[in-house]
């Protein structure tokens, strides 16, 4: 029999189609897994950390021992009293 003008698929053709089908389904499954993971991933915050306040900087300097308690209290009172105005 001629199989419709001898257009049958040889062994290599079957091998090529099989490999192509496996690669196709692997690509589809990989894409679905990546989309699923991206959809369920928590959103990352891209906020930059806030700059430390003057009180925090002063407390850090006191904790490191750069200033003593008297100077810490004096500077802390100056910070809480507000901006100094020059007359």
pLDDT tens for each residue of 26-41: 999 999 999 999 888 8
Q: Indicate the pTM of the whole model.
A: 0.42
* Pairwise pLDDT comparison (37 vs 11), residue with the higher score: 37
| Interatomic CA distance for residues 50 and 36, integer angstroms | 33
Question: How many C-beta atoms lie closer than 10 Å to residue 58's C-beta?
Answer: 19
């Amino acid at each position: 029999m001629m199989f419709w003008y001898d257009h049958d698929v040889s062994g290599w053709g079957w091998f090529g189609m099989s490999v192509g089908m496996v690669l196709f389904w692997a690509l589809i499954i990989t894409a679905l897994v990546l989309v699923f993971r991206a959809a369920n991933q928590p959103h990352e915050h891209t906020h930059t950390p806030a700059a430390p306040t003057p009180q925090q900087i002063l407390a850090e300097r006191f904790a490191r021992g750069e200033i003593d308690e008297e100077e810490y209290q004096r500077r802390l009172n100056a910070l809480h009293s507000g901006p100094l105005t020059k007359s």
